[in-house]
Structure 1
Amino acid sequence: MFPFLKTLSRTVHEVHEEHHEEDYLSDETSYKSLTVWRKSLVLSCNGFTVIDSDGDLVYRVDNYSGHPSEVILMDGCGNIKFTLCRRKKKLRLVDNWLIYQEGDNDNSSAISEKHPSFVARKQINHMLQQNANVLAHVYAETSSNKGLAYVIEGSYAHRSCKIYEKSRKVVAEIKRKEASMGGEGVSFGLDVFVLVIRPGFDQGMAMAIVLLLDQMFS
């Protein structure tokens, strides 16, 4: 669809697979690796373009304002997969981010009338917590599953984060791309990074968490 995406994807993924082969292939299971480009394909928009190892567009985000109150994650065909909304409350130091999944309360067309699948909170009291690497917590809000679902640790500013299930199993990672190719140093900067997703974890949810971190820390 977009030839330059295939070139970008091939460059990033070849380096990624060479550099991290020992870390991930030792599990004897396949993992999903997506290239995340912090840029919209639509002119005059901010957003994200996400491609797989074949250079195919799998997700996109097109924001018409710099700091939108609502962020929509779409697949490559433009279908909505997740919607993130920031909920501000008076007299509260920490805002909540509501994560709506495609299909949440389909009988209602307005986001305000739907029930979110997840609620996320940014961690701010780093000096008071046992693990100072924690960035945010994500809580499940479905009728069949409530309570802590994921913990995100690391540094989004450095594109180095791990997403843990409540069992402390790593289900996804955000990695910055810096590599040596042809004897010369190549830096992809902060706007191009890799999202590694472990088998069994929904890649759409992993990308929704990336958007969440970008809203919280950019």
Structure 2
Amino acid sequence: MSETKRSAFIERKTKETAISIQLGIDGRGTAEVSTGIAFFDHMLSLFAVHGFFDLTVRARGDLDVDGHHTVEDVGICLGQAFSRALGDRAGIRRYGQASVPMDEALARAVVDLSNRPYLVLKTPALVERVGAFETELLPEFFRAFCVHAGATLHLHVPYGENSHHMLEAAFKAWGRALDQACSLDPRRSGVPSSKGVL
């Protein structure tokens, strides 16, 4: 982790899940993820790798019911981790965007770390499951992240045929855009807002 040490540790325990997340924003892209949903682990790992975030996720949930609580609660905790690690958000670039291809699929992510949560998510029709991951949980995850990170995220997959490829491109684009938004601008000492606060 760099000298800025923008990091956070979050724990959340409910009757449905037990989650811990360690995040380093200024990392090298190391990931250790275990949620009990292998495809979700894969997505979070490549998000960290392509965003240069050091990320450890440990999650136990009621997967005998379904993946909803686990996926949503990981989104909550990851959002809280970013919000805590960013602090007052002084000096950050605030905005980030990235486009990532994955074979026949393309994804574009645009991020604003505005402290105003909002999600716009558009994809072609996805298969019901990729591995054990229920694709209808995608908006639940990203909405939970946005609310708790204080982030606006526009995530668009304009085309693609393979659901795995579309989701992989989306998570990679999100990681790269978020890395850009979190990065420090040497020209800025305060909060990146004309209001003086985010």
- Is the TM value for this pair above 0.5? no
Instruction: Report which of the two has the higher share of strand.
Output: 1
TM-score by length of 2: 0.32
Instruction: Report which of the two has the higher share of helix.
Output: 2
Quick check: which has more Rg, 1 or 2? Answer: 1
TM-score by length of 1: 0.30
